[in-house]
Amino acid sequence: MLMSDFSRTFIISMVALLLVACGPEDSAINTQSSTIDNNKTFQWKMVTTWPPGFPVLQEGAERFADNIKAMSNGRLEIKVYAGGELIPPLQTFDAVSQGTVEMGHGSAYYWAGKVPEAQFFSTVPFGMTARGMNAWLYDGGGLELWREIYKPFHVVPFPLGNTGVQMGGWFNKEINSLDDIKGLKMRIPGLGGKVFAKAGGNPVLLAGSEVYTALERNTIDATEWIGPYHDQRLGLYRAADHYYYPGWHEPGTVLELTINERAWMSLPEDLQAIVSNAAQAENVRMLSEMEQKNMSALQELRDRKNVQIHHFPDDVLAKLKTLTDETLQEEAEKDPKFKRVFDAYQQFRQQNDDWSAISENAYLAIDKD
């Protein structure tokens, strides 16, 4: 309800009088805006695309909900459900869009069938790493564009986590040239899979739960998953000998929080600020956790599991890069919406590459031993 200027002035005067009436130790709790109803509570549901208890990703979504509860003094309580507990993993976007639940956590490339251009807000082969993605999303216009893309679905997106640079995957033989990829059956989803097919490979779609068995029984010759930490937990080192890097197909996969637009609008400003800032905090926290866990798992795989870790040959990477450019161009020609986001992404990526070349990359390239 709109308040007249008179009644707003009246309320503010009354609040001021009350503050004067309170002792100094009481005043801190009375300084909130008069428009916020502190007695109104919100009980929300969040559904994710992750298996129950999935380390870092599901755990991070749960920590995010716990932090919001603590910061809002229980006014916003979010119950988090893993994939399949309430909604099948790949239907979480629709559930948030339709308002069946208020929140979702996953990654934008899962909705590529419905919103192909959403992939740029997740990751694309040879695209930006977490640093570039955060710069684009928070400060380079990326998030505004993302909100616009999801607007017709009544979904408000936020970045909420990043896997960091993934690994290239596990192979049952060495990859010394592009010929070694020909006919290779590999679990590699999304645009990476399309590029892999152009290179002569045979991309296979498999859910995470089927990956280990398929590789172990030679139903597939290779698979990518995430990074050393999650790959080790899945036991992939027992199913294939050769572990390749870098993850050219997923250089920094952004995880997303999605909120139903009507639910978001129903929150008072202070709770919106809590959600938005908790999302930024968790975005950093999840990436940091991934980095730390990946570095110790890499050491374990190399030193104790005797895994052979290889860099993809430079000419294989160069060819995959060329095929990626072709794939993205083809998708852009088919679809003006895809093209619009692709152009914005490319423009930012170019600037990011220029700056990174003389900052982070140049620094890391110094021999410091």
Binding to Ca ion by CB under 5 A, coded x per residue (else -) over 235-264, reads: ---------------x--------------
Q: Looking at this protein, which amino acid is placed at residue 302? A: R
State the pairing for strand pair 42-48/76-81.
parallel
**Number of residues forming the site for Ca ion (CB under 5 A):** 3
Least separation, in Å, of the C-beta of 227 and Ca ion? 8
Least separation, in Å, of the C-beta of 305 and Ca ion? 20
Binding to Ca ion by CB under 5 A, coded x per residue (else -) over 52-91, reads: ----------------------------------------
Structure token pair of residue 231: 């790959």
Binding to Ca ion by CB under 5 A, coded x per residue (else -) over 127-166, reads: ---------------------------------------x
Beta-bridge mates of residue 185? 202
Nearer to Ca ion, 159 or 164 (CB): 164
- Exposed/middle/buried for residue 276 (C-beta within 10 Å: 0-12, 13-18, 19+): middle
Which residues inside 261-290 make contact with Ca ion, applying CB under 5 A?
Answer: none
Helix/strand/coil for 304: coil
Nearer to Ca ion, 46 or 226 (CB): 226
- In terms of C-beta distances under 8 Å and separation of at least 24 residues, what long-range contacts does 146-153 make, across chains too? 146/108, 146/121, 149/115, 149/117, 149/118, 149/121, 149/337, 149/341, 150/115, 150/118, 150/258, 151/261, 153/93, 153/97, 153/115
Among 121, 345, 361, 158, CA closest to 252: 121
Least separation, in Å, of the C-beta of 249 and Ca ion? 7
Nearer to Ca ion, 75 or 230 (CB): 230
Nearer to Ca ion, 166 or 352 (CB): 166
CA distances from 166 to 29, 126, 163 (A): 46, 12, 7
Helix (H) or strand (E) holding 287: helix 269-303
Contact 171, 221 (CB under 8 A): yes
- DSSP 8-state code for residue 131: H
Nearer to Ca ion, 47 or 188 (CB): 188
Least separation, in Å, of the C-beta of 225 and Ca ion? 6
Least separation, in Å, of the C-beta of 240 and Ca ion? 15
Least separation, in Å, of the C-beta of 242 and Ca ion? 17
* Stretch near Ca ion under the rule CB under 5 A, chosen from 64-72, 167-175, 221-229, 325-333: 221-229
Least separation, in Å, of the C-beta of 203 and Ca ion? 12
Whole-angstrom Cα distance, residue 69 to residue 74?
Answer: 5
* Stretch near Ca ion under the rule CB under 5 A, chosen from 60-68, 90-98, 218-226, 254-262: 218-226
Nearer to Ca ion, 250 or 282 (CB): 250
Nearer to Ca ion, 102 or 250 (CB): 250
Nearer to Ca ion, 19 or 112 (CB): 112
Contact 157, 108 (CB under 8 A): yes
* Stretch near Ca ion under the rule CB under 5 A, chosen from 129-137, 220-228, 262-270, 271-279: 220-228
* Stretch near Ca ion under the rule CB under 5 A, chosen from 69-77, 105-113, 217-225, 307-315: 217-225
Least separation, in Å, of the C-beta of 188 and Ca ion? 8
Least separation, in Å, of the C-beta of 90 and Ca ion? 15
Nearer to Ca ion, 75 or 187 (CB): 187
Whole-angstrom Cα distance, residue 7 to residue 74?
Answer: 30
Nearer to Ca ion, 224 or 282 (CB): 224
Structure token pair of residue 320: 């995959």
Helix/strand/coil for 26: helix
Whole-angstrom Cα distance, residue 91 to residue 337?
Answer: 22
Residues contributing to the site for Ca ion (CB under 5 A): 166, 224, 250
